[in-house]
Amino acid sequence: EPEVTQTPSHQVTQMGQEVILRCVPISNHLYFYWYRQILGQKVEFLVSFYNNEISEKSEIFDDQFSVERPDGSNFTLKIRSTKLEDSAMYFCASSEGTVSDTQYFGPGTRLTVL
Amino acid sequence: GEDVEQSLFLSVREGDSSVINCTYTDSSSTYLYWYKQEPGAGLQLLTYIFSNMDMKQDQRLTVLLNKKDKHLSLRIADTQTGDSAIYFCAEGEVGGYQKVTFGTGTKLQVIP
């Protein structure tokens, strides 16, 4: 069964460093998403992406965040200058984009900012 | 904005039924989802129901929707120790891209 994959599974970085989290969505899906889950808290929507542009973003998704689909398979989330409070599990998801749609999530990347 | 609420914890004995409850606020046409998250793992879509349905059954899972009360439940029959996980209720709008709003998650503990 097709699945969303994410790399790395765990990323440790120093505060102020840039990180890039990578995702490979399901191949025939058209919509891509990033969510995050701070330890012990809700899963929160960050951004949705379609046709090479952002469709919607939350207030969490500020200028420090960016997304890109650099080629036909990868979807990346970049955090330019990480803060301690960026430590969280980051989930990528994708969907076909039909009316009867569901999102399929990857296993997540645990980001730890020291 | 949308809000989804769940109780935080549920403990059941192996073989019993588990019922996880959820309330939501969005009254427009929507999909309601149940995701399962095992320790250290990602979000696994278990089942979903469209807001014009009352019930959906899928093997051991039964989803009941009371649209008037905006109440959703997930019943797991014959609960097994492998069902121990956090269960997230979530809602998403119909069509195209959608922002899924998650509940706080209910931690299900199955006692052997």
pLDDT at A26 over 80: yes
Q: Which residues of B touch A47 (CB under 8 A)?
A: none
How many angstroms away from the CA of A107 is the closest CA of chain B? 4
Spatial distance between the Cα atoms of A89 and A21, rounded to a whole number of angstroms? 11
CA nearest B97: which of A44, A72, A94? A94
The chain B residues in contact with chain A (CB within 8 A) are 31, 33, 35, 41-45, 48, 50, 88, 90, 92, 94-105
The chain A residues in contact with chain B (CB within 8 A) are 6, 31, 33, 35, 41-45, 48, 50, 55-56, 58, 91, 93, 95, 97, 99-108
Q: Please, are residues A93 and A3 in contact by the beta-carbon 8 Å criterion?
A: no
Q: Please, are residues A91 and B43 in contact by the beta-carbon 8 Å criterion?
A: yes
Spatial distance between the Cα atoms of B90 and B102, rounded to a whole number of angstroms? 4
Spatial distance between the Cα atoms of A42 and B19, rounded to a whole number of angstroms? 20
Q: Given this model, what pLDDT does residue B97 score?
A: 62
Strand boundaries in B14-102, DSSP class E: 18-24, 30-37, 43-50, 55-58, 61-66, 71-76, 85-93, 101-102
Q: Which residues of B touch A31 (CB under 8 A)?
A: 96-97
Tokens of A100: 């009867």
Which of the residue ranges A53-62, A86-95, B70-79, B87-96 would you say has the lowest mean pLDDT?
B87-96
CB contact under 8 A, B102 and A102: no
Q: Among B31, B50, B97, whose Cβ lies nearest the Cβ of A56?
A: B97
Before A70, cis peptide (omega within 30)?
no
Residue B96's pLDDT band (cuts 50, 70, 90):
low
Give the up-direction half-sphere exposure of residue B42: CA atoms within 13 A in the CB hemisphere. Answer: 22
Q: Please, are residues B65 and B55 in contact by the beta-carbon 8 Å criterion?
A: yes
CB contact under 8 A, A103 and B105: no
Q: Identify which has the larger pLDDT, B109 or A41.
A: B109
With tokens 């900012």, the residue in question is A113
Tell me the pLDDT of chain A averaged across its residues. 91
Rounded average pLDDT over A73-98: 93
Spatial distance between the Cα atoms of B20 and B92, rounded to a whole number of angstroms? 19
pLDDT at B1 over 80: no
Q: Which residues of A touch B88 (CB under 8 A)?
A: 43
Spatial distance between the Cα atoms of B112 and B101, rounded to a whole number of angstroms? 33
Rounded average pLDDT over B60-72: 93
Residue B87's pLDDT band (cuts 50, 70, 90):
very high
pLDDT at A16 over 90: yes
With tokens 């899924």, the residue in question is B100
